[in-house]
């Protein structure tokens, strides 16, 4: 039993340390992104041999850039890649390439996502001005 707990602890420790996001404020993330929007993930497909994943998001609210009603993003299947969940909502800070990762796309459907709600509120305030 102790070895199982140790193995799980090591697994989650190494995967969580594998991708580090800087402590950027919402204002900085907004200014660094080409498009910023929030919506529900409706589809995800593995491309090729599984190194990249494409996802479609039905946009509910846009904050920056020319955002369409449906946006497509890509992530790689690495430690920093986004884990897509169909029907969950995501806040996206997309760059020119359409690539996203754990640092630029956030699942706002999670129970512990109070910071995501705070980010949404801050974006609404910033883009009203």
Give the whole-angstrom CA distance, residue 75 versus residue 31. Answer: 21
Instruction: For domain 24-128, give the CATH number.
Output: 2.40.50.120
Torsion sign across C-alpha atoms 127, 119, 76, 83: negative
Give the whole-angstrom CA distance, residue 120 versus residue 105. Answer: 12
Give the whole-angstrom CA distance, residue 58 versus residue 35. Answer: 14
Helix (H, G, I), strand (E, B) or coil at 129: coil
CB 36 within 8 A of CB 59: no
Give the whole-angstrom CA distance, residue 100 versus residue 76. Answer: 8
Record the pTM. Answer: 0.78
Give the whole-angstrom CA distance, residue 47 versus residue 4. Answer: 34
The pLDDT assigned to 1 comes to 47
pLDDT tens column, 16-66: 445 777 777 889 989 999 999 999 999 999 888 767 889 999 999 999 999
Task: Tell me the average pLDDT of the chain.
Answer: 81
Give the whole-angstrom CA distance, residue 124 versus residue 129. Answer: 9
Joined together, the tokens standing for residue 66 give 């020319």
Neighbours of 56 (CB within 10 A): 17
Please report, for the chain, the start and end positions of each structural domain, with discontinuous segments joined by +: 24-128
pLDDT tens column, 97-126: 888 988 888 888 874 566 777 888 899 999
Joined together, the tokens standing for residue 59 give 């946009």
Q: Mean pLDDT throughout 1-5?
A: 41
């Amino acid at each position: 039993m102790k070895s199982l707990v140790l193995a799980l602890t090591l697994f989650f420790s190494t995967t969580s340390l594998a991708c580090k996001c800087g402590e950027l404020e919402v204002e900085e993330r907004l200014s660094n992104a080409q498009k910023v929007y929030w919506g529900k993930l409706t589809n995800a497909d593995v491309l090729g041999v599984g190194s990249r994943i494409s996802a479609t998001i039905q946009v509910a609210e846009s904050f920056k850039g020319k955002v369409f009603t449906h946006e497509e993003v890509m992530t790689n299947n690495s430690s920093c890649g986004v884990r897509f969940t169909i029907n969950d909502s995501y806040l996206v800070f997309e760059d020119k390439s359409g690539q996203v990762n754990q640092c630029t796309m956030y699942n706002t459907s999670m129970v512990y996502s109070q910071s995501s709600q705070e980010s949404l509120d801050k974006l609404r305030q910033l883009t009203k001005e």
